[in-house]
Amino acid sequence: MRRRKADSEQTRNAILDAAERGFCERGYAATTLEAISRAAGVTRGAFYWHFKDKAELLAALHARSLLPQEQILAAVADAEGPGDPLERLANAGVEALRDFEVNESRQRMFRITSDLGIGSEGRAMPVRLDGELRSLMRRVMQRARDEGSLHPGFTPQEAAMLVHVTFIGLLSEWLRSDRGFPLAEFGEKLVRCQLAVLRADGASRADAGSAGPRDPPAPERVPELLPG
């Protein structure tokens, strides 16, 4: 019985691995169940023993690999005890970027769920997930507002959207550029600068120059030589 259960789990993981690679390389819509089964080395019957369709397969892929946004929010949304919500958010975000930089499975899942051509069948899970993530991010920003650390010029919804778009943009550009910059190093600077602007004392920090580098000084004008 134990051997049979282990074999079944191995088959399920082989299907998930094949689907993850196929969805990432060819797209969700273009990857057939036949291709997934063939790549996994299983029959169609074995596939249907574990999954009823591609949508359920996509949900199972997501369940075994948290996306970076979820990893961030899981660390801060329901944190108990005293602590700065924005600082927790920054620390969790940096940790998620470091993990994403070396975790190829999470990179593939991010590509899959970011595919706008995924179709209505496949979009159901990412749309639901995005809604949940935005809701959790608003809770973090509402907590910051309640504790007086959020700049009064931003509503919790606006602050949540700004941070959400920043993380998604960083991950998308890093993958689009074929890892063209050090994600964690650049990302940490950008995220911490942005959160400094969102803080109640963000304006004073920006005025002091801590929110980013200043423009270089203009070169001194060289006086023209008068004709002799």
Average pLDDT over residues 8-33: 91
What is the residue whose two structure tokens read 């899959």? 112
| 101: exposed, middle or buried (Cβ count in 10 Å: 0-12, 13-18, 19+) | middle
Domains of the chain plus CATH, in order, are 1-63 (1.10.10.60), 66-198 (1.10.357.10)
Helix pair angle (156-176, 104-113), 10° resolution: 110
The pLDDT assigned to 154 comes to: 95
| 120: exposed, middle or buried (Cβ count in 10 Å: 0-12, 13-18, 19+) | exposed
Dump pLDDT digits (tens) for 74-128. Answer: 766 655 556 788 888 888 888 889 999 999 988 998 888 887 667 666 677 777 7
Q: Chain-wide mean pLDDT for the chain?
A: 81
pLDDT of residue 206 exceeding 60: no
Q: Using 50, 70 and 90 to split pLDDT, how confident is the model at 178?
A: very high
